């Protein structure tokens, strides 16, 4: 197992969490539920990658290796992913998407859906033992797709011209 690779994935995802936190602090009162939904997505994905990049390092310290290591990590990652999606889908911000689909919202699934499939599919291939011997590569694929997904959500959050913003009060 390449421990440095997992540490670097956690670091990259941590950057997205940091950017998300800075963006949330930038707006005093988040009134744009559309933007809040993307911000929550960035944070959810970033935290998911950080946690799941560190799980194999922690579990391997207990002498677990091979398929058992990747199976336990994939089960944890898929569980956290599913719970995160369930919690995210219940937020008022994510529910606000239903009514207004601007150009970027229609484009988002074109990248987002394949990334969801890459994440879930890679983890399910590990769990069901479909491709023995490539468990670590599949796990890295899932984490990499999570980082790309967080980047995509952050990009849409930042460049979406459909978001209406009001000028700050007090000369900012």
The C-alpha atoms of residue 50 and residue 69 are separated, in whole angstroms, by 17
Ranked by mean pLDDT, the top range of 12-21, 145-154, 158-167 is: 145-154
Place of tokens 């990049």: 53
The yes-or-no verdict on residue 27 having pLDDT over 60 is no
pTM: 0.82
Q: Across the chain, what does the average pLDDT equal?
A: 83
With a cut of 70, say whether residue 171 has pLDDT above it. no
Distances (CA, A) of 165 to 33, 35, 102, 162: 12, 10, 16, 9
Q: What is the pLDDT of residues 44-82, one digit of tens each?
A: 998 899 999 999 999 999 999 999 999 999 999 999 999
- Cα four-point dihedral sign 172, 158, 123, 55: negative
| pLDDT (0 to 100) of residue 75 | 98
Query: In terms of Cα–Cα distance, which of 168, 136, 158, 134 is closest to 3?
Result: 136
Per-residue pLDDT, 168: 42
């Amino acid at each position: 197992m390449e421990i440095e690779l997992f540490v670097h994935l956690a670091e990259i995802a941590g950057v997205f969490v940091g950017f998300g936190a800075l963006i949330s602090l930038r707006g005093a009162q988040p009134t744009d539920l559309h933007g809040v939904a993307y911000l929550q997505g960035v944070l959810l994905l970033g935290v998911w990658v950080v946690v799941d990049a560190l799980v194999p390092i922690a579990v391997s310290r207990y002498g677990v290796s091979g398929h058992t290591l990747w199976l336990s990590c994939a089960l944890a990652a898929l569980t956290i992913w599913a719970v995160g999606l369930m919690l995210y889908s219940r937020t008022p911000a994510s529910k606000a998407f239903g009514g207004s689909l601007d150009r970027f919202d229609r484009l988002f699934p074109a990248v987002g859906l394949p990334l969801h499939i890459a994440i879930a599919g890679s983890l399910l291939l590990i769990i069901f033992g479909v491709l023995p011997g490539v468990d670590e590569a599949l796990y890295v694929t899932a984490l990499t797709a999570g980082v790309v997904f967080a980047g995509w959500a952050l990009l849409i959050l930042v460049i979406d011209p459909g978001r209406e913003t009001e000028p700050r009060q007090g000369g900012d």
